Amino acid sequence: MKNKFIVLGILFASFGVCQMNAQINLGEKAIGALQKGVTSFTLTNADAAKLSKEAVDKMDAEHEVAGPNDGYTLRLNRLFGKHTAGEGYTLNYKVYKLKEVNAFATADGSVRVYSGLMDIMDDNELLAVIGHEIGHVANNDSRDAMRAAYQKEALIDGVSSQSATVSTVTDSQLGKIGSAMIDSKHSRKQEAEADLFSYDFMKKNGYNVNAEESAFRILAKMSEGTEASFLDKMMSSHPDSKQRAEDAKKRAEKDGVYKAYVQQKIVNTVPAAKAKTKKKTTTKKK
């Protein structure tokens, strides 16, 4: 598959979604008590949620977002409309109409799925992949990712590691933080835990758990293709997709439900409206 890159799991989220009570101004953004020091500063869940919300708002404005009646949006809402909340967090979903194979979740509960991912995975496989992203929300992984991103942006600006000043974030700095978040790496343990969360999510909700193995097989196959060098760079923080597929298979075998998964038909188009049948009227003869 040409020009399809995998950047799965690059922005992660946590509990404690911050309620945004006012419209975000994409000029300078005051970040309350955030300190821009590289060491020994505390980034709360609310801080991470607020900064993530600003970054996602910026990305939403810069990318083509599928409209409410778009086939991609209708499909995503059908699959995840009932999975918008968990213990301590609320999720919102949108589709970016881009060819890259990508999905991410951020600390404010935003889940963004690229149309390129939806083009190559069926409903169950998509549930497994996004279930992994929800796992990063539920497992509270985002604070470390945001801290690393914020610290990296501080280094870019040459801010002293001992700085204790309240920072403001400009659009330019917000872009740098977004890039730093993309480069942030989660531990293999966190990735494995998110994979397990995805399996349990599928199992709990009555979905086909074997689709998780299938999704990883697809990613592994792509990593062996023309995108391999790019993929190696972007996926260096993730366990090997083949191994993750094997782990998913072992979980299903342990539960006694393993069966080789056969990918189902992928439909991202708006269902055709049913033609209205006209009732024939007959005139009675007098």
Q: What is the pLDDT of residues 181-205, one digit of tens each?
A: 656 667 888 899 999 999 999 999 9
Number of folded domains that form the chain? 1
Residue 283 within a domain: no
Catalytic residue among 54, 133, 191, 193: 133
Helix or strand or coil: residue 29?
strand
CA-derived radius of gyration, the chain:
22
Q: pLDDT tens digit string along 34-71?
A: 344 444 356 677 888 888 888 889 889 999 999 999 99
Helix or strand or coil: residue 31?
strand
Tokens 């610290």 — which residue?
Answer: 151
Q: For the residues 76-96, what does the mean pLDDT come to?
A: 92
Q: pLDDT tens digit string along 200-233?
A: 999 999 999 999 999 999 999 988 765 554 445 4
Q: pLDDT tens digit string along 124-176?
A: 999 999 999 899 888 877 667 777 777 666 655 544 333 443 356 677 777 77
What amino acid is encoded at 211 in this protein? A
Residue 134 within a domain: yes
Note if 224 is an active site residue.
Answer: no
Give the whole-angstrom CA distance, residue 12 versus residue 138. 10
The boundaries of the domain holding residue 76 are 29-254
Cβ–Cβ under 8 Å, residues 43 and 135: no
**What is the DSSP-derived secondary structure letter of residue 27?**
S
Asked if the model's pLDDT at residue 121 lies above 80, the reply is: yes
pLDDT at 36: 46
Q: Is 129 exposed, middle or buried (0-12, 13-18, 19+ CB in 10 A)?
A: buried
